[in-house]
Each structure stands twice: as structure tokens, then as C-alpha cells.
Amino acid sequence: MPRFAANLSFLFQEWEAEARFVAARDVGFKGVEIPFPYDFGLGRLGDLLAMNGLELVSFNAPAGDWDAGERGLAALPGRKGEFFDGLERAFDLADFVEAKRIHVMAGVIPEDEDFDLVYDTYVGNLRRAAKEARARGLTVMIEPISPAVIPDYMLATPEQALAVIADVDDHGLGLMLDVFHAQNTQGRLTETIEASMAGLAHVQIAGVPDRAEPDAGEVNYPYLFDLLDAHGYGGWVGLEYHPRMGTLPGLRWARAWGIRPDAVTPPPARPAKRGR
């Protein structure tokens, strides 16, 4: 049975930032994803998680200048110092709130960049990152992302990510498999999941092709949940989708897995913000 985690940058946007933790708890979530939780401050973030009985199951290391279009630093030549400074900040946060998984974004690579240099930079940085994470009892993760979402991102397909993981060859590095991206770039989801199991650290889901609730579209998620169970996956499944008609109505699909959208009263209407 899947353990669902609410991505608080996609779901519960009707609530103010701190109130999302309470709403997620009351609906029945035990875990949350927060892509960039640094603005809360360590103490406040720890309080919000502890008071609501929530685990921070996944978050991103600092990813460069997001407003300027940067989407990670791990594969960018000449940014090694900045990458590891940010990773140390992520390690400190993970230690403080007892999180176990950190997503390390690769970066957007210009077409004229030397690919061999980029790849060597990426693998070298990930080897060091994985070694340091493993020493702390943590896992750093890489995620392939569809070019339709982030053009020119270093990793587009699960096959590419698994090749990188094989080259790094360290158990401190794992795969974050977002089924939405995997279906859009590679498909063959049964084969993809089975090939990924040895290094699978985290799963995310959304409907395809609209990235809304996973109860409609081209992916048979109940089948995939059973497949993950059959292969012994005991990790989290992050809900990273844009609700069609609001968070609570959109969560009705998850009642069969213990989520209780009717247990919460929605707040007064406020403009929704869309996540990454």
C-alpha cells in the first residue's frame, strides 16, 4: 500500500504556508515534500513538522538563482564550490529535522557546452555528495525531468539517470522517479520501474498528460502501486500535481488509501499559486 506524501508547493495552496502543515495532517498525510523549505528557518520548520506529526520526506538542495532560470548546479562546470556550499546547508537542514532524502538538481545545460566536461563534473560532484550523504545516514537523489517542463535539463529520462547512478556507484545516491516525467519521456512504465528498483529512493506521481490528479489520463496508477508493492518498495509516493478544482475535491481519489479530504474545512478563497 502506498505511503502518500503531500507536496506543499503543489497541494494546499488555498492555505497560508504554515497552515498547510495542519491541513495536510488533518487530511491524513504523515509525510510532506517541500521543494525549498529554507525560508521557514530550521527551528520553525522543525516545530511545524513535529507539532503535526509529519516527516519531511523529500526536499531540494539549493539550486542556484531560480528567478534567473537556474535549475540546479551539480552538473555546471565552474560552480563546484557553490554547489557544495548549498549541499552543506541542505545536510544541516536534514540533520535538524531528521529528513533522509535530498534531491540534488543537475542544472540547465547550454547547447554549446562541452558535454564530456558537463558529465564529468556531474559524476564527480555526485560521487562526493553521495559519499558525504552516506556518512550522515542520508541519501541524495537525482530526478530525470521532461524537456517540456525544464528545457535543456541535464537528465531527461530514467535510463539516463540510471546510467549516471551506475557510474557514480555509491549507495548514497538514489533515483527519484517522477512517473509524470517518465511517461512523457520514456514510457514503458512497468519495465522502467522494474529496472529502477535497486536504486529507487522516492516516487512522485501526477496525471498524464495534464499533471493534475492521478485518477485520470494515460497512467493506470492502481496497477503501478501494486507493482511497487510486489517489488517490495517501502518508500514514499509524493503527490506532485496541480489540482483541477482545489486540493480537497481533488483528493477524493485517494480515499481508498486512507486520505480523508472531508475531514478538513477549506479556508476562504485566495488566489492559488502553482508549483514547479
Residue 237 reports pLDDT greater than 90:
yes
Three cell numbers, residue 154: 541535464
**Has 191 been annotated as catalytic?**
no
Cα separation, 64 vs 36, whole angstroms: 12
- From the candidates 14, 33, 213, 240, which is the catalytic residue? 240
What are the tens digits of pLDDT across the range 93-122?
999 999 999 999 999 998 889 999 999 999
Catalytic entry in 143, 159, 191, 213: 143
The cell for 264 is 478538513
First CA to last CA distance, the chain: 27
Residue 18 among the catalytic residues: no
Whether the Cβ atoms of residue 265 and residue 32 lie closer than 8 Å to each other = no
Q: Residues 240-268: pLDDT tens digits?
A: 999 999 999 999 999 999 999 999 988 87
pTM, whole model, 2 decimals? 0.94
Q: Which helix (H) or strand (E) holds 202?
A: strand 200-205
What percent of the chain is predicted at pLDDT more than 70?
Answer: 97
Instruction: Round to whole Å and give the CA distance between 189 and 186.
Output: 8
CATH C-level class of 3-263? alpha beta
